[in-house]
Structure 1
Amino acid sequence: MMIVGRAFSGFSTGMVYPTAPVYLAELSLPENRGFLVGLKGLMNTLGFFAAGWVGYAGSFAHGDLQWRVPLATQIPPALCLAIMTIFLPYSPRWLAMRERYDEAKKVMYSLHHHRGSDVVENEFAEMCSQIQHDSERKKKSNFLNLFTRQYLRRTLLACLTVNMMKLSGSNIIQNYQSIMYNSLGYEGQTVLLIGALYGFMAVIGQIINVFFVADHWTRRVTVISGSYCLAVLLAVLTALSERFPDGSNPAGSRAGVAFIFMFAFAYSFFFNSVNWVLVAEIFPLDLRGVGVGFSVFTQSVTAIWLSYAASIAFDEISWKFYFVFIACNLFAGTIYYFFLPET
């Protein structure tokens, strides 16, 4: 039953993940697109934050309640989300593509009426013109177009961008942080408490991103500086883990935890939302849906093999596994610097 439930959960996540950034990109204006996708990232970090505290609270329960209660707490948010989606508007682009022009214009007025009717009418006309152009191109477009010479660079950059959300080390730290805290000398419920506080740092980083980074820094500058920043933080964490492996030095252990917390903050500050904006903007409109979908597919494959490899790596080489993510971040930052154009 647990395996079936996880399968349904994974399937559902696979539908939502590529759809949400495309939907937000089609509803938002260019000047606030980063802000709206940043709110998506904020909801993600709030979810991780809540999950950490639920896990910590569950540690005080006894027997099967230790895992049944945390699982049950996922039901109310999922039900709320399902109910709220009923009230979401259709994407005006999706409506116009199906020649439901009156509905599309109504949605645009409801979203952008503050800009004035003339502006909305011009945007609607431009959207319809673009859809007409894309429909003519789409007759010749298909999934294989992602791998043609014209679009291969975009496809590779999009895949790199979303895969670096895993290869940066964020998911490994999120999923295996209890092992990391054990390596620094912490045990028992203290590990769960530290994990819950880790989620708080991610929330703070995402809030700052939403209001001060998302639509104020360029996408390119954000991912380049973020990649190198994460590499530096992981390098310091690696040195601390090597120098104080058994928790014999309390100050060293606390410093290790501090750098894990700083990593959570920096990842949310730089990466948690801008990557999705980049992927949505990097493809032309006629390939956006399939391009984002393929990118998320490669990300899911990376998450599977990385989760499998991580359990073995931590047993065999412990903190030396961090070198993999340091190298990945340095590699990504360099690729972004030389090959990623500003969207």
Structure 2
Amino acid sequence: MSAKIETIFSGPALRVNEALDHLPKIYNVYFIASISTIAGMMFGFDISSMSAFIGTDSYLNYFHSPSSTIQGFITSSMALGSFFGSIFSTFVSEPFGRRLSLLTCSFFWIVGAAIQSSSQNRAQLIIGRIISGVGIGFGSSVAPIYGSELAPRKIRGLIGGFFQFAVTLGILIMYFISYGLGKINGVASFRIAWALQIVPGLCLFLGCFIIPESPRWLAKQGKWEQAEFIVSKIQAHGNREDPEVLIEISEIKDQLLIEEAAKNVGYATLFRKKYIMRTFTAVFAQIWQQLTGMNVMMYYIVYIFQMAGKSGNANLVASSIQYVLNVVCTIPGLFVLDKIGRRPLLIGSALMMAAWQFGLAGILATYAVPWTDSPSDSVTIKIPKTHIPASNGAIACSYLFVCAYAFTWGVGIWVYCSEIWGDNRISQRGNAVSTAANWIMNFAIAMYTPSGFKNIDWRTYIIYGVFCVAMATHVFFGFPETRGKRLEEIGQMWDEKVPAWRSASWQPTVPLVSDAELARKLSVEHNEEKMFEEDSNTDDERR
């Protein structure tokens, strides 16, 4: 079905991309990544713009103090839209290219933000958030792929982590904007904040006109000259004879041959005996990322600090510190994954997150008292002002949890899920399935958490702490190490059923050709092709 769609729209797709190429292009890979990952920044904007206002009087009065169930659905409706957006993104990304998908992302985001900012009731707010979510679904599915297809191999992990960094940066920027606008008395506070979400949408829309198309997508359309030009501009300042350029073009050719062979590979293939453990691992990697409880700390940070006894400006300032820590701790995560490895970081941080969740639950269980006149239906307990050290301890546990998450599970899972398949024939469909699992869990957790706070208060953190212990156990026994391994080596590991705890020291039975040897071979072949073309041209002239 997908192949038929691509064939039908091949001509229109190329015309659309030609229309996007009228303006000069910027080929700096960091600039390109900063534009494409605005899609991640939008997700961060959404988190902050909701979490900053759900505890304010203007929001509660205008939307008639939503119950815990209704507030859960308002918050989670964005993730619901993202689930569907991520599924449908392939029907735009494959036939029409990555840039048009990013333009689609910006379109839905802008429309959704406009609807939210003009909301007259809960239903309109929910509809606006669902539409914005569709845009985020497109962006979260396409932006990481686009970055990996353009980035030089040596920094592909770094560029891949830009998406998560953009999410954390968006959370921080929008939170401070919302903090300032929160000083406005009345509905203008949240209306202006939600309207300002249009700005990153416009930046992404305009940015798509000055960044190049994915060379892999162009090669798939038969535009090899243009694909080679873009690769050479990004990786070697236009030098098409550079070894890295030759290797990259060779890999693109190999990739297209694999995709040609994979046309009959469907989603059912993921669940065959050969691939089912890879599918299980990738899907659970995304599920566990959500079950850490991080989105509880992000979406409902105001509720958490209300339980800790903070209110008004004190609550907002304490929340902003958490968002700053989230950004700061994400930065080393972009580098440390390739230094230490995936498994040690994921296991160690999961156990640390469990400790801070249990610590937060213990403090609230010991010092919190019932809060009968709480302004929120979801917050039923708080630590009284007579126990300030306990309040500070609860906030410290929240801060330490975010630090443990940000540089490991936050950045690492997106990188890990792109590496784990070991077979390009199934990676695209596999990533779609695992990303969909992430969004549906995001929806479930955002939906459940307010009711959880209302009904079992501090015990909610016990549940997430247990999940963190479970995920550490699963990583130890079921997540093989992928650091420093090529795609073919990862595939060999799965085929040989190497135990996960031995995967870091495992070596392939059939050594692969080194990059230097491959570059020399490709350079010779490229020169031979050029000599053949020159001889052919000379013969033509003689005739």
- What TM bracket, shorter-length normalisation? over 0.9
Give the 3 Å change call, closer, same or farther, for CA 184–119 of structure 1 in structure 2.
Answer: closer
1:187 Cα deviation from its structure 2 partner:
1.5
Partner Cα distance (1:92, 1:294) in 2: 25
From 300, 315, 336, give the equivalent of 1:191: 315
Who is 1:200 aligned against? 324
Which residue type is aligned with residue 285 of structure 1?
Answer: N
Partner Cα distance (1:139, 1:87) in 2: 32
Who is 2:63 aligned against? none
1:297 Cα deviation from its structure 2 partner:
1.2
Give a deviation string over 1:269-318, Cα, whole Å, max 9, x none: 11222111111112222222222121121122112222222111101111
Give a deviation string over 1:108-146, Cα, whole Å, max 9, x none: 11221179613311331233023213311x133112211
Who is 2:304 aligned against? 180
Q: Give the paired residue count.
A: 341
Give a deviation string over 1:134-193, Cα, whole Å, max 9, x none: 311x13311221121211111111111122221100001111121211111112232222
Instruction: Report the secondary structure of 2:410's partner residue.
Output: coil
Which residue type is aligned with residue 404 of structure 2?
Answer: A
Q: Give the alignment of 1:311-322 within 5 angstroms.
A: 311-322=450-461
Who is 1:309 aligned against? 448
Partner Cα distance (1:58, 1:133) in 2: 52
Who is 1:64 aligned against? 187
Is residue 234 of structure 2 the alignment partner of residue 95 of structure 1?
no
Who is 2:409 aligned against? 271
Q: Give the alignment of 1:19-58 within 5 angstroms.
A: 19-58=142-181
Who is 1:251 aligned against? 389
Partner Cα distance (1:27, 1:228) in 2: 35
Partner Cα distance (2:152, 2:349) in 1: 25
Partner Cα distance (1:95, 1:179) in 2: 48
Instruction: Report the secondary structure of 1:62's partner residue.
Output: coil
Partner Cα distance (2:358, 2:257) in 1: 51
Who is 1:337 aligned against? 476
Partner Cα distance (2:290, 2:442) in 1: 6
Partner Cα distance (2:453, 2:320) in 1: 22
Is residue 343 of structure 2 the alignment partner of residue 220 of structure 1?
yes
Give the 3 Å change call, closer, same or farther, for CA 295–232 of structure 1 in structure 2.
Answer: same
Is residue 464 of structure 2 the alignment partner of residue 325 of structure 1?
yes
Partner Cα distance (1:290, 1:86) in 2: 28
Instruction: Report the secondary structure of 2:458's partner residue.
Output: helix
Asked whether the 8 Å contact 2:258–2:425 carries over to 1, the reply is no
Asked whether the 8 Å contact 1:22–1:289 carries over to 2, the reply is no
Who is 1:261 aligned against? 399
Instruction: Report the secondary structure of 1:141's partner residue.
Output: coil
Is residue 242 of structure 2 the alignment partner of residue 242 of structure 1?
no
Q: More helix per residue: 1 or 2?
A: 1
Q: Give the alignment of 1:285-300 within 5 angstroms.
A: 285-300=424-439
Identity of aligned residues (%): 25
Is residue 283 of structure 2 the alignment partner of residue 168 of structure 1?
no
Asked whether the 8 Å contact 1:35–1:215 carries over to 2, the reply is no
Is residue 420 of structure 2 the alignment partner of residue 282 of structure 1?
yes
1:29 Cα deviation from its structure 2 partner:
3.6
Which residue type is aligned with residue 152 of structure 1?
Answer: I
Asked whether the 8 Å contact 1:231–1:326 carries over to 2, the reply is yes
1:42 Cα deviation from its structure 2 partner:
1.6
Who is 1:119 aligned against? 244
Who is 1:80 aligned against? 203
Which residue type is aligned with residue 301 of structure 2?
Answer: Q
Which residue type is aligned with residue 261 of structure 1?
Answer: Y
Partner Cα distance (2:165, 2:254) in 1: 34
1:197 Cα deviation from its structure 2 partner:
1.7
Instruction: Report the secondary structure of 2:311's partner residue.
Output: coil
1:261 Cα deviation from its structure 2 partner:
1.3
1:213 Cα deviation from its structure 2 partner:
1.0
Which residue type is aligned with residue 172 of structure 1?
Answer: V
Partner Cα distance (2:425, 2:206) in 1: 30
Partner Cα distance (2:292, 2:168) in 1: 16
Instruction: Report the secondary structure of 1:271's partner residue.
Output: helix
Give the 3 Å change call, closer, same or farther, for CA 312–3 of structure 1 in structure 2.
Answer: closer
Partner Cα distance (2:455, 2:247) in 1: 61
Which residue type is aligned with residue 321 of structure 1?
Answer: T
Partner Cα distance (1:133, 1:299) in 2: 27
Give the 3 Å change call, closer, same or farther, for CA 233–30 of structure 1 in structure 2.
Answer: farther
Asked whether the 8 Å contact 2:452–2:460 carries over to 1, the reply is yes
Normalising by structure 2, we get a TM-score of: 0.60
Which residue type is aligned with residue 126 of structure 1?
Answer: E
Which residue type is aligned with residue 134 of structure 1?
Answer: E
Partner Cα distance (1:224, 1:101) in 2: 43
Who is 2:279 aligned against? 155
Instruction: Report the secondary structure of 1:273's partner residue.
Output: helix
Give the 3 Å change call, closer, same or farther, for CA 337–146 of structure 1 in structure 2.
Answer: same
Partner Cα distance (1:294, 1:187) in 2: 41
1:106 Cα deviation from its structure 2 partner:
1.3
Partner Cα distance (1:37, 1:89) in 2: 17
Which blocks of at least 5 consecutive residues in structure 1 are unaligned? none
Partner Cα distance (1:320, 1:98) in 2: 55
Which residue type is aligned with residue 466 of structure 2?
Answer: A
Partner Cα distance (1:113, 1:321) in 2: 52
Who is 1:131 aligned against? 256
Runs of 4+ residues deviating >6 angstroms: none
Asked whether the 8 Å contact 2:290–2:441 carries over to 1, the reply is yes
Query: Which structure has the higher relative contact order (CA within 8 Å, separation 6+)?
Result: 1
Who is 1:107 aligned against? 230
Whichever of the two has the greater Rg, that structure is: 2
